[in-house]
Structure 1
Amino acid sequence: MSDILRLLARSTSVSKATAPSKPKQPAAPAPVAEVKLSTAARRREQKRRAAANAANATSQSPITLVTAPPPVADEPQAARNGKEEKKKSKKRKRDEVEKTDTEVSASNGSATLDPVDARSLLKQHKLKYTILATLGSRQELLKAAQIEEEDKEQEDKVVSKKAKTKKDKKKKESKEKAKEKGDGDGEAATPKPSTSTKLDQIFPTPIQTFEELRTSYNISKRLYDNVMVQRFTAPTEVQMGSLPLLLDGTRHLVPGLEECDVDLMTIAPTGSGKTLAYAIPAIDHLIRTKHEEGEGYEKGIRVIVLSPTRELADQIVNEFRKLLLGTGIKVVGMKKTLIPKERRRGGDSKNEDHDDDDSEEEDSESSGEEDSEEEATNGAVSRSKKGIAVKSEIMVATPLLLLHAIQLCPDLFPISKVSRIIFDEADVLLDDLFLSQTTSIVSHLTSPSLSFSFWSATMPSSSETLATKLISSHPSVLSGHKTRKLVRLIAGIKDSSLPTIRQTITYTASERGKLTALRQLFTSSLKTPCLIFLQTIPRAQALHAEIMYDLPAPNRIAVLHSNLSETARSKVMDSFRAGEIWVLITTDLLSRGVDFRGVNLVINYDIPTSVASYIHRVGRTGRAGREGGMAITYYTEEDVKYVRGIVGVMEKSGGAEGLQKWMLTSLPKTTKEEKKELKKKGVKERRAGAGAADNKKSRISTKSGYDRKIEMRRKAAVDVSKSRMVRRDQNDDEDDGESGSEWEGFA
């Protein structure tokens, strides 16, 4: 028996001595390479690492039993570990994969750029971040204030240590001087506390290529492919600055925003790509939510995009559909036909946001076609006995129409799960015209994780304060467990147009001079497609009637305004985009957000009612960095007191031509009361229902008053003669009928 034990001990010792050394595990690959692997490859890599760690643990443990089996038993142990991992739920695997992805993206990529390099990069692209407000519950605000005070104290200590030696030297020198002069007190005066009200700035690292969305921020592969299909060469400034704050990947690593919820206010020039900047994070957030909830995911409205006009809403829907291909997420544009007829209000046709001017008859005729089109294109709506229930995750709407849908049909439009609300052209949505509707919509949103984002090319200080109040008064902020920070991002120069647009301003003295200058432009240097903006709908109709035959080709001039039906407006828009219409006469209905990439010329026939309106009008050309766009502004004697602000924008943007210095200094300044009156009512002489003298001044015609009287008399005479002819024919028919009834034939 002892010989057998010796033999076993000898065999084990020999096997330990002669067994080949286990090869060293190769070093873990760089995290950047892991991001490029597929999900299945990452899972296999995790299993391999777990098995390797188990093998190392068993090989390093001391051998206590002589009769232990040889080291070949490591393989069954690895197999058992693999089987145990296979039995885990799919949800847990997804969580592990997403966790490793976020760790990888946090450890590498653009988020770890040196702060000095990040600041220089932001300065190069003219990106500026400021924290407008820190919001949240009282407890969270107190905690945040304490943390800020501690950070400031630490900074002060560091600064005081560095400056201590200098202060000591100065004190010694002052004491020596005081002794020499015979003064008893040689101490320096204590410095006054700083009272600066400067806003805090942050310096996140912007993205420089679209490839970073996949490698550093780990967005969905399908979403990334849809972005790259659009053939975007490089992100614009607003996309470089906003995407790192809105994407869920590494936002928590931004200095100053650790463990905070972020609401963003973005101010960027027109045509700079704001729609793509907020569409990508919204879709990525929905895809992540869908993966996290797994089988328990329910379809419904989760993201709301508000826009002031229907044309802009339709454009946003089209942009979202390009990015949603193959993702399983749906988008729908809010229309009146989605509300059942028996629940609609009688006053819906009179919509303040210029998008519900259609009659009930037109809606009933086109409702079936629109519903079938929606179901066929994106499956965003489904019919039920009660009406049409919205099944899409993204809803794009105008404020009043969405508010009516929420109030009248809460069962068909559930919004309790809305986690993001996006305000496109936010300064208009926070203006007096839409403010009550916007606040009512926000009050109906009850999600505790609701986040806000505001987007516009112009954002006055009043809109910033209203946005802060809107967020701070929401229940999700007051009852939240995290502090919220409203961050303002300015891309480029605030309240200015793109420098690639050539801008000119021309004095025409009178309305007749405007029309003469416009006709001269038609015959000399007209660049089509062209947009002409006027102050009111009657003036737009009058100009269209006056110049509709001035172009050599017929039917190339059209007019678009809110009094037209929905079908007529969409038809005009499609014809203009297709190139069938060369000159489009319109009001401020098309001044905001609508993307006409091929517009070469914008004419302000009537000066805009505000500086912001001028910036948005001019922004219809020069879209997406396209050069060659031109903007012409005509002004008369009545407009002189309103021109200075426009000239200032032209000078700030750097694209002005022929701008004289005296216009920046000698033009009269506009008072606040005049600005308010101009914004609400426009120039007095061109308002609807002005006096007789004002109507003569604002008449769009080159004919004299005498010629117009003769023409009106001729028209009246023609109308009278036509009515006489109609009456005569009617009397003749009646006489023939009477004589026919008395005739009884020959006797």
Structure 2
Amino acid sequence: MDDEGEAKTFKSLGVCDEMVEACESLGWKTPTKIQVEAIPHALEGRDVIGLAQTGSGKTGAFALPILQALLGNPRPFFACVLSPTRELAIQISQQFEALGSSIGVKCTVLLGGVDMMAQAISLAKRPHIIVGTPGRLLDHLSNTKGFNLRLLKYLVLDEADRLLNMDFEKAIDDILKAIPRERRTYLFSATMTKKVGKLQRACLKNPVKIEASSKYSTVETLKQQFCFVPSKYKDCYLVYILTEMSGSTSMVFTRTCDATRLLALLLRNLGLKAIPICGQMSQAKRLGALNKFKAGECNILICTDVASRGLDIPSVDLVINYDIPSNSKDYIHRVGRTARAGRSGLAISLVNQYEVGSYIQIEKLIGIELPKFLVEEAEVLLLLERVSDAKRISQMKMKESVGNKKRRKSEDADDEETERYAITTKNSKRTNKFKMK
């Protein structure tokens, strides 16, 4: 696309009228850079590798060509999209359904942590699009009677670098063996790792490679700052910032699942509306937390990196890095939760004395020295007593919760042991009776 003047509307990219109307109904007025670059090649029938930063409109870049092709050839199991996380899979499915609502597109989501029988019933209705995590899709290909992807026309690997980092490699290999070689394949990734390069060679034919961002970068509308804090006062600084920006919608990133739960309890004890989300929660609880946050019932989401990629939560004003990520690239994905689609946003990183090395690596990666978030420590420490009390109560609640879980597990184990003993005794009596005869 040499003439950028021509690429200002979806119509000029070759998108058909039905799909242009669908874009308008979702408020997509102009295509993003990755859409401008990828859609024309995809509509020509080429395989595509798209490298783009988070929040760049990747879903639209592969969903529009697939739906346009489906319009001309409506059939079940037309396309399959693989995603690294359950939340992202649900979001992709929702976008397909929204774009395809006027043409009656049916979508099924296949995720772990959800009843397989309900998913099998959904597959029996022969949907057009399947979106899922690799492990659960493979479970259905292996175990669900009558289900196969032998007629598949399109395969999409979204967030491919993360798919492979999460050790889905074996599952993806098995899926590739079970689908037709004659198909279109789209591979989208934030980074081009060795594993992604290997996957590209294995499953794409003469692809066109598109880079919407040549280096690791954050969007211009994002204001980024850091605050150097002593480790023992980090909770105080977090509470101070969230209180100062109490009208904002905020995401707070931590390193561990336990930290998300502890911080959410601490903030709630101080009267702030916080909710945790992490990989150890059940699928229903994760979705419930996400929906409460999207609906505005809670304005602070405390999360691990499970929420750093792919989730489009359009109204986030503030991202706080409570823990600095050890992998610098995760910083880009975290702060990409705000300042999306041209809006402004703020990211503040709380850096303690043990995290300086990791923080310097982030500044090197993005090529910017970030300004300080100015705050008077004396003001922050006015909160110390209240925050310390709230933390102590939160830690006690967490210990009680862990104790209750262990007790329930122990009781369940005792019940099982009693049941096993009863069965063994019953069988032993039967055996002795048989011997006496």
TM-score by length of 1: 0.48
Partner of 1:535: helix, strand, or coil? Answer: coil
The structure having more radius of gyration, on CA atoms, is: 1
Shift of 1:273: 1.1
1:207–1:243 Cα contact (<8 Å) kept: no
Instruction: Tell me if the contact between 2:187 and 2:200 (Cα under 8 Å) persists in the aligned partners.
Output: no
Say if 2:33 is the partner of 1:233.
no
Corresponding residue for 2:187? 454
SS in 2 for 1:317: helix
Cα distance, 1:228 vs. partner? Answer: 2.4
Q: Is residue 564 from structure 1 mapped to residue 284 from structure 2 by the alignment?
A: no
Paired residues of 2:97 and 2:105 also in contact (CA < 8 A): no
> Are the equivalent residues in 1 in contact too, given 2:16–2:68 (CA < 8 A)?
yes
Which of 58, 80, 91 aligns to 1:274? It is 58
Quote the Cα distance in structure 2 between the aligned partners of 1:485 and 1:565: 41
Aligned AA (2:61) = A
Q: Which amino acid aligns with 1:494?
A: K
The alignment status of 1:550 with 2:270, answered yes or no, reads yes
CA distance in 2, matches of 1:464, 1:333: 24
Match of 2:177 in 1: 443
Query: Do the aligned partners of 1:270 and 1:498 also contact (CA within 8 Å) in 2?
Result: no
Per-residue deviation at 1:395? 0.3
Cα-to-partner distance string for 1:347-374 (whole Å, 9 max, x where unaligned): xxxxxxxx52x7xxxx49xx7xx77xxx
The share of aligned pairs that are identical, in percent, is 28
Of 640, 643, 648, the residue aligned with 2:364 is 648
Secondary structure, aligned partner of 1:329: coil
SS in structure 1 opposite 2:255? coil
**Counterpart amino acid of residue 470 in structure 1:** A
Partner of 2:216: 495
CA shift for structure 1 position 231: 2.9
How much has 1:470 moved relative to structure 2? 2.2
Asked whether 1:407 is paired with 2:142, we answer yes
Deviations 1:18-65 (A, max 9, x none): xxxxxxxxxxxxxxxxxxxxxxxxxxxxxxxxxxxxxxxxxxxxxxxx
Alignment CA distance shift 1:326-1:442 (3 Å): same
1:227 is displaced (CA, Å) by 2.0
Correspondence for 2:168 = 434
Paired residue for 1:657?
371
**Equivalences for residues 8-47 of structure 1 within 5 A:** none
Instruction: Tell me whether 1:626 sits opposite 2:422 in the alignment.
Output: no
1:180-225 Cα distance to aligned partner (Å, 9 max, x none):
xxxxxxxxxxxxxxxxxxxxxxxxx972212324xxx3x4432232
> For the Cα contact (< 8 Å) 1:301–1:391, is it kept in 2?
yes
By how many angstroms is 1:703 displaced?
4.6
Letter in 1 for 2:54: T
Which residue number corresponds to residue 433 of structure 2? none
**CA positional deviation for 1:519:** 1.8
- Number of the residue aligned with 1:698: none
1:585 to 302, 324, 327: 302
CA distance in 2, matches of 1:647, 1:490: 22
Take 2:286 and 2:200, find their aligned partners in 1: how far apart are those partners? 36
The 1:523–1:221 alpha-carbon spacing in structure 2 relative to 1, beyond 3 Å, is closer
Instruction: State the distance in 2 between where 1:423 and 1:579 align.
Output: 31
Aligned CA distance change for structure 1 residues 527 and 633 (closer, same or farther; 3 Å): farther
Change (3 A) 1:233 1:703: closer
Matched, 1:311 2:87: yes
- Residue equivalent to 2:99: 323
What does residue 354 of structure 2 align with?
638
1:514 corresponds to 2:226: no
On the 8 A contact 1:502/1:657 being kept in 2, the answer is no
Residue identity opposite 1:583 in structure 2 = I
Contact 2:161–2:193 at 8 Å: present in 1 too? no
Q: Compared with structure 1, are the counterparts of its residues 330 and 282 closer, same or farther at alpha carbon in structure 2 (3 Å cutoff)?
A: same
2:29 counterpart of 1:263:
no
Distance 1:582 1:425, change over 3 A: same
Q: Which amino acid aligns with 1:514?
A: K
Report the counterpart of residue 36 of structure 1 in structure 2: none
Cα distance between partner residues in 2 of 1:485 and 1:531: 40
**1:265 and 1:455 in contact (8 A); partners too:** yes
Question: Which residue matches 2:68?
Answer: 284
Aligned counterparts of 2:27 and 2:153: Cα–Cα separation in 1: 30
Secondary structure (helix, strand or coil) at the match of 1:624 reads: coil
- In structure 1, which of residues 537, 540, 548 is the aligned counterpart of residue 257 of structure 2? 537
Q: 1:448 to 1:566 in 2, by over 3 A?
A: closer
Q: Secondary structure at the match of 2:47?
A: strand
The C-alpha deviation readout for 1:615-651, integer Å capped at 9, x for no partner, is: 1111111111212x11111222222222222112443
Is contact 1:333–1:397 with CA below 8 Å preserved after alignment? yes
Pair 1:288–1:636, CA change in 2 (3 A): same
- Contact 2:78–2:129 at 8 Å: present in 1 too? yes
Give the aligned partner of residue 244 of structure 1.
40
CA contact (8 A) 2:79 2:130 kept: yes
The one-letter amino acid paired with 1:212 is: S
Mapped to 2, the partners of 1:534 and 1:273 lie a distance apart of: 26
**CA contact under 8 A between 1:560 and 1:569: conserved in structure 2?**
yes
Following the alignment from structure 1 to structure 2, what is the Cα–Cα distance between the partners of residues 311 and 210?
A: 27
Q: Distance in 2 between matches of 1:287 and 1:229?
A: 18
Output the amino acid matched with 1:208: K
Question: How far 1:599 moved relative to its partner?
Answer: 0.4
Partners in 2 of 1:608 and 1:534 — Cα distance? 8
**Secondary structure of 2:347's aligned partner:** strand
Query: Tell me, which stretches of 5 or more residues in structure 1 are unaligned?
Result: 1-110, 112-117, 123-204, 252-261, 291-298, 336-354, 372-380, 473-483, 660-700, 720-747
Over the residues paired in the alignment, what is the CA RMSD in angstroms? 3.0
Correspondent of 1:603 among 314, 320, 330: 320
User: Deviations for 1:135-155, whole angstroms, at most 9, x for unmatched residues?
Assistant: xxxxxxxxxxxxxxxxxxxxx
**Could you tell me how far apart the structure 1 residues matched to 2:105 and 2:215 are?**
35
Alpha carbons of structure 1 residues 580 and 630: separation in structure 2 relative to 1, 3 Å: same
Is this contact kept in 1: 2:86–2:133, CA < 8 A? yes
Counterpart for residue 208 of structure 1: 8
- Give me the whole-angstrom Cα distance separating, in 2, the residues matched to 1:234 and 1:222: 16
Q: CA separation in 2, counterparts of 1:586 and 1:233?
A: 31
Q: Tell me the residue number matched to 1:395.
A: 130
CA distance in 1, matches of 2:79, 2:277: 31
In structure 1, give the amino acid aligned to 2:10. Answer: F
Give the Cα–Cα distance (whole angstroms) in 2 for the partners of residues 525 and 226 of structure 1: 36
Kept in 1, the 8 Å contact 2:23–2:29? The answer is no
- Can you list the C-alpha shifts for 1:595-617, whole angstroms capped at 9, x where unaligned? 00000011111111312211111
Query: Which residue does the alignment assign to 1:133?
Result: none
Contact kept, 8 Å, 1:220 with 1:287, in 2: the verdict is no
Count of residues paired in the alignment: 385
Structure 1 pair 485/404, CA: closer, same or farther in 2 (3 Å)? same
User: Alpha-carbon deviation of 1:565?
Assistant: 2.5
Query: CA contact under 8 A between 1:504 and 1:658: conserved in structure 2?
Result: yes
SS in 1 for 2:152: coil
**Which whole-Å CA distance do the structure 1 matches of 2:352 and 2:234 have between them?**
8
Deviation at 1:564, TM superposition (A): 2.4
Shift of 1:410: 5.2
User: What does residue range 137-152 of structure 1 map to in structure 2 within 5 Å?
Assistant: none
Residues 313, 337 of structure 2: 8 Å contact kept? yes
Give the distance between the partners of 1:559 and 1:325, measured in 2 at CA.
32
Deviation at 1:506, TM superposition (A): 1.9
> Shift of residue 236 of structure 1?
1.2
CA displacement at 1:432 relative to structure 2:
5.2
Letter of the structure 1 residue corresponding to residue 230 of structure 2: A
User: What's the TM-score, normalizing by structure 2?
Assistant: 0.80
